Structure 1
């Protein structure tokens, strides 16, 4: 490896405490997915306005890397950047969609071998084929674009493949579905590192939803509600305004003047999950925000977020985040 290239990569990651993210660009990399990582992590700021991440693009060999578009990337960093990273992200390549079962290119395999143990590793879309081929997904839960489901299952039977989710997180090895779900995945990592408030600010700056949970369906039948039929937007707005109290399915359906059965079907079509699961998700997000940004007692936050009791909120946060409300506050409470 060229010592000058290695020096440049080391310099890019030196001199500050920012979390180091390396994006691995392969031949015919999807330019949209590559840019997601820079755009989302690049916007994350501390309360004092300091950048929280340093993002570097690297390749198995430094130099020009073709994209799926009509331009080429001049990538200065080689695989040495992977050895210095705390998070490695592998976007898709147009080559991934060709039906072939060849082993990893030796230079790519050698690059991945430089990743340190304990490094967080993530893929976007068909980048999960690379992680699986490298043996990084064996026995783990993973996903990819729904159109690649059959091919992935056939090629990697040792992976617990789930075709119906936006992203997965299996103990620091993460995968996402189509390109846009890479945004959700990056926001999830920021939320894990720095809490909901930081992730929500990044989402707001990018004009995207602050949180689509990983278990949400990949394929939403009606991404844009048909203007000729009733949507569920009025009901969702009403629910958020009344999150502090019990909200029933009957009340939600009444906001749209429809039956509970019709409302539930339309809700799943438009949002990709059930009304009950969506409500729980909103309550958790409300609780996270209050834990991070206020000194309210745990009992009061539980009531405000609609959980009713601190015990109920504790169970939901433990199930969703793996920590208690007090532990979450201790980790992410701002100054």
Structure 2
């Protein structure tokens, strides 16, 4: 079913987290007359100060709350006359899911279901015919792992999640699909590759490496470092979501990738070289001296790769950042925002 959608009033779940924060900044820059309500629990990875630039604006509201609170979500949909939900809120760190999977199942499965129930109540039961969209943001990890010679994931690749995190996201994808198929809720889903860019919590590979290299600390690399990921600059991801919300077919899934496969070790070497160039007099040069190999994590997927030809062909998507330009932008942001990452974290690297 093809239906263009013109979002005016958005509820962004997880809007104080990494990708959600960048989405809010992107959307209000592109569409300054839009109205955005951010719903975020402000757990360890969510920071209200990420959105400080919008505080006090008449078209922005922040609500600290839980997506599991169906009554709260229902009230917000009614009071704010929300026509679009962009659902980022999730537990997303693979290492944390290995050692504490319960929170992932609760947030990613039950939380998504709570949102869907609220949306169905307001948009279908109370206001039949109301133009709306529920966009669900998911991950390429639901597809499992690839060998070095396997073709990249497409939207028809069978699901084969290998971590509790990936399994919880796979389940939420299926629940979203069911609500569209069974009840007629106007949903879309995107499965993205590894994002990087500003505001990313420093337990993830790129900000972790930047923070540790700048402080002359060891950068841990799992196993042999030859795990392959398709790296996607966060605003390229947001451009893809924008196209899907506005022009995507209801009930469809779109893969969003950066056309940029890199091994983890090559990625870290590239970062080291950039830092060597920028700080040639630093005692940390060569920055590669801080790379340390550590025991691989359980069930570590070997390779992810996204075939994004569907969104490119159907919606005209193209990533704008190269790996070099995106990495330089990311490094610039972290160099100018040391207060965001200083102090580090105990866990490391969903990579």
More strand by share: 2
Bigger radius of gyration among the two:
1
Q: Which has the higher contact order (CA 8 A, sep 6+)?
A: 2
**TM superposition score normalised by structure 1:** 0.30
